[in-house]
Amino acid sequence: MLGYRLRDLERGALERVADGLYALRRYLLDQPLFTSTILPAIPRPLRWTMRKAYLMPADVIEKAVGRRAAMVPPRSQMFVGSVEDFERSGELLTTRLIDLAGLTPGSSVLDVGCGIGRLAVALTRRLGPDGTYEGLDIVPPGIEWCRQNITARHPNFRFTLAEVFNGEYNPHGRVHPSEYQLPYADATFDLVVLTSVFTHMLPGDMEHYVDEIARVLKPGGRCFATYSLLDPQSRRLMESGRSDTRFKHAMGPCAVVDEKVPELAVAYDEDYVRDVFARRGLSTDGGIHYGTWSGRETSGRSTGLSQDIVLAVRAAA
């Protein structure tokens, strides 16, 4: 009995260490000085190495205590989003897709910037046999993990690697974003999802992607995309220091955190974003839902997400 008790104490201590690592990381990412000044000053290769090294002890602990679920990737392999609530945040996003974008068990879904499967894992519990999922990303390890761990269990979930250049996530990409064509036929999808994609993409490239989204959406289909939107209120909150991130460098219709690697974090003028979608036949009327990034007092109550949501609808035939 004493032996079991000691093992329980050891397990609890290890779990507290892992939780502490997550808590410290979360605290740092909530500090504008860290996200907007310190982090951009660290060279990209070192920044990514430090991220992996910092999270590796938590991986070892979770494996030792059997805490990680089978379809949750190692934390040190995650390269976007929160690392400690992979499943919860995926479920939250799925709920928003149902509530705001009309996701059904039979939907055909394209997830641009699918990462390492956060949304895909959640959708395996929501899409039925008539539903389809296509995941697309520019980071090879993420696509490989998804193929081995998701497609192997759910053949209607497929993943494609896009060899697209991005200064932060794929600096060795062979194709410029403004030249990349989504590898899908016209009018294929009921729903196109982009979470934390346009927050790492510059205007010309973003506009080209919206062109492609309009092409692959079915008439009446919807695009659910997250942004950091700039309007008078979010600008005032940034200037007062209440926002999570400070976009200090203006670049035409957008602003960035770091001029050297602008794709690290990009914010857009809201009116410009509306116009970009409208010129492609995608209506955003009533489709702006603000997140918490800017520090809005009432933001996040309807979405629970940090970034702002733009919901655009393609006109029915």
Output the pLDDT for position 79: 67
pLDDT digits 0-9 by tens, 219-233: 999 999 999 999 999
Of the two residues 229 and 258, the one the predictor is more confident about is 229
Overall pTM > 0.85: no
Q: Coil, strand or helix: which one is 95?
A: helix
Three-state secondary structure readout of 41-94: HCCHHHHHHHHHHHHHHHHHHHHHHCCCCCCCCCHHHCCCCCCCCHHHHHHHHH
Q: How far apart are the first and last CA of the chain?
A: 70
Cα–Cα nearest to 255, from 272, 242, 241, 268: 268
Task: State how far the Cα of 123 lies from the Cα of 224, in Å rounded to an integer.
Answer: 15
Of the two residues 32 and 90, the one the predictor is more confident about is 90
E strand or H helix at 99, and its extent? helix 86-101
pLDDT digits 0-9 by tens, 45-81: 777 677 777 677 766 777 776 666 677 877 767 666 6
Task: State how far the Cα of 26 lies from the Cα of 149, in Å rounded to an integer.
Answer: 27
Per the document, the length of the chain is 317
- Nearest-10 crossing angle of helices 270-278, 203-216: 40
Task: State how far the Cα of 76 lies from the Cα of 264, in Å rounded to an integer.
Answer: 19
DSSP conformation class of 36: I
Output the pLDDT for position 83: 61
DSSP conformation class of 116: T
**Which of the residue ranges 73-77, 92-96, 108-112 would you say has the lowest mean pLDDT?**
73-77
Do 216 and 184 meet the contact criterion of CB atoms below 8 Å apart? yes
Q: What is the largest CA-CA distance in the chain?
A: 71
Do 222 and 102 meet the contact criterion of CB atoms below 8 Å apart? yes
Task: State how far the Cα of 275 lies from the Cα of 253, in Å rounded to an integer.
Answer: 11
Q: Which residue has the tokens 């809201």?
A: 270
303 pLDDT tier (thresholds 50, 70, 90): low
User: Which tokens hold the place of 200?
Assistant: 């790492």
Beta-sheet strands, E only, within the chain: 108-112, 132-137, 157-161, 189-194, 217-227, 229-230, 249-251, 254-256, 266-269, 282-283, 288-289, 308-314
Output the pLDDT for position 5: 47
DSSP conformation class of 316: P
